[in-house]
Amino acid sequence: MENRYSPNHIGYRQLGTQELRTTFLVDSLFAPGQLELIYSDADRAIVGSAVPVASPIQLTADAELRAAFFCERRELGVLNIGGPGAVEVDGRQFELAKFDGLYAGRGSQKISFSSKDSGNPACFYLLSYPAHAAYPATLIPHATANQVHLGTAADANRRTIHQYIHTGGVKSCQLVMGYTQLHEGAVWNTMPPHTHARRSEIYVYFDLGKARVMHFMGTPEETRHLVISDRQAVISPSWSIHCACGTGSYAFCWGMGGENQEFTDMDSFPLERLA
């Protein structure tokens, strides 16, 4: 498991392009047949992926966790962005098609991932935060997610937010998770931007094809950007804005953890403050 450490809101200004990418960009996800985990000091989040091909992949607890099993003191959110597959949690098997999600709570001991077709493997995106309470493992079919429609065609930001793990849906300790789908012709998300002073957020962008996304980060008065390719993730500390513009439409899975679970808890900034 790789460890990542975030600079503060002043220190990041000294980083060059490659240093910014090394610190905040996760470009090693979704390797076929592998489990990939990255530990961030931002709210002790773990972001990862599992792409089972010929055989199931077990979710293991690396030595850094000092735990007997991965979810001994953690909860886990899963989103499948690939072919059909399954997640087994302590003997219970959950079938996940593309865009289906799963929540596994604290105390879940044995978790494994498998694909129905090795030629079209499932691609499981993983996001985990520490948990002080236990909630049951729950399948989240795409059709049951709460939908929020935002934006306009005139502003090139029509998008649908699909809320999976949140206060009005599947219960968790602190994890909030879902994904956003931009409509055809839309390229902007979350503009004007905002920060989450009370929690961190992690994005993974997918269904880009050959397109690219310009992900904006930093403080409002001194912004930076990262050029993102398909299935790459960005770690966003509590002090950083997070918004993006693509060369075409795209989707991204968002997940948060911190002091509260209110989706609308954010501090927005007018365009006049951006520099």
Q: In what order do the strands lie in the sheet containing 57-58?
A: 57-58, 111-115, 85-89, 92-96
**Distance between CA 161 and CA 2 in Å, rounded?**
30
Collapsed DSSP state (helix, strand, coil) of residue 11: helix
Q: Which CATH architecture has domain 2-273?
A: Sandwich (2.60)
Structure tokens at 27: 């470009």
pLDDT of residue 171: 94
* Exposed / middle / buried, residue 161 (Cβ in 10 Å: 0-12, 13-18, 19+): middle
Q: 198-241 pLDDT, tens per residue? A: 778 999 999 999 999 999 999 989 999 999 999 999 999 889 98
What is the pTM assigned to this prediction?
A: 0.94
Band of residue 20 on the pLDDT scale cut at 50, 70, 90: very high
Neighbour tally for 226: CB within 10 Å: 18
Copy the structure tokens of residue 267.
Answer: 């501090």
pLDDT digits (tens, 9 = 90+) for 31-88: 999 999 999 998 999 999 999 999 999 999 999 899 999 999 999 999 999 999 999 9
Tokens of 213: 């996304």
Q: What is the pLDDT of residue 261?
A: 67
Q: How far apart are the C-alpha atoms of 84 and 88, rounded to whole Å?
A: 14
Output the average pLDDT for the chain: 93
How far, in Å, CA of 195 to CA of 99, rounded?
26
Contact (Cβ atoms closer than 8 angstroms) between residue 41 and residue 6: yes
| C-alpha angle 103-206-12 in degrees, rounded to nearest 5 | 90
Residues in the chain: 275
pLDDT above 70 coverage of the chain, percent: 97
Checking if the pLDDT of 192 tops 90, the result is no
Instruction: Retrieve residue 181's tokens.
Output: 């789908």
pLDDT (0 to 100) of residue 31: 98
Per-residue pLDDT band for 100 (boundaries 50, 70, 90) equals: very high
- Asked whether residue 247 carries a pLDDT value surpassing 70, the answer given is yes
- For residue 61, how many C-alpha atoms fall within 13 Å in the half-sphere facing its CB? 16
Q: Is the pLDDT of residue 19 over 90?
A: yes
- Which contiguous run of DSSP H or E holds residue 35? strand 35-40
